[in-house]
Amino acid sequence: MLRQSLTVGVAFLSAFAIALNAEARQAKPAPQAAKPEPKAAAKVALPAAVEAAFKKAYPNATVKHVSKETEKGQVQYEVESMDGTQARDLVYRADGTVVLYEELIPESAVPAAVVSAVKAKYPKATFSRCEKLFKDGTMNYELGLKGAAAKEVVLTPEGKWVSPAK
């Protein structure tokens, strides 16, 4: 009798397991089509003149990113680079002429006159980014600000406002 009960129990459990397995297979959602991968931004190739000018000026620098832009109808190439620990962004015309470049600097390297001028106009501001900006043969300081009406300002080394104009 015990043997017969065990056989019936095993048979029942086997049938139950088969039924559950079949139900589980039917309940599985249909596999979804794979989502398309986002397209990577097309890599911009530097014109030979730009590449040569960059390598001549910064032979040990590594190019991190290149973008192609049009400014006032002129095609320009922005090169983001690292030269050791020095971050530098440069903008070139297609012929290899430098339009401008920016070098990231520590806040401690910003002249006192520049810091004083910013603090006088924006007393609660803190610096989020400090750069030397070389453009049109002049060097200025470009500062990213937090806690100020202006998000970015440019001043001469003597602390005179370039933008926004005072």
Q: pLDDT digits over 97-147, tens only?
A: 999 999 999 999 999 999 999 999 999 999 999 999 999 899 999 999 999
- CB 158, CB 113: distance < 8 Å: yes
Q: What is the pLDDT of residues 49-71, one digit of tens each?
A: 999 999 999 999 999 999 999 98
CA proximity to 52, closest of 106, 83, 88, 96:
96
Residues 6+ apart with CB under 8 A from 67: 44, 77, 78
pTM as predicted: 0.68
Residue 91 domain boundaries: 48-163
Q: CA-CA distance, 82 to 85, in Å (whole number)?
A: 6
CA 123, CA 35: separation in Å to the nearest integer?
50
Q: Are residues 4 and 58 in the same domain?
A: no
Residues 85 and 115 occupy one common structural domain:
yes
In a domain, 35, yes or no: no
Same domain, 89 and 154: yes
Q: What is the number of structural domains in the chain? A: 2
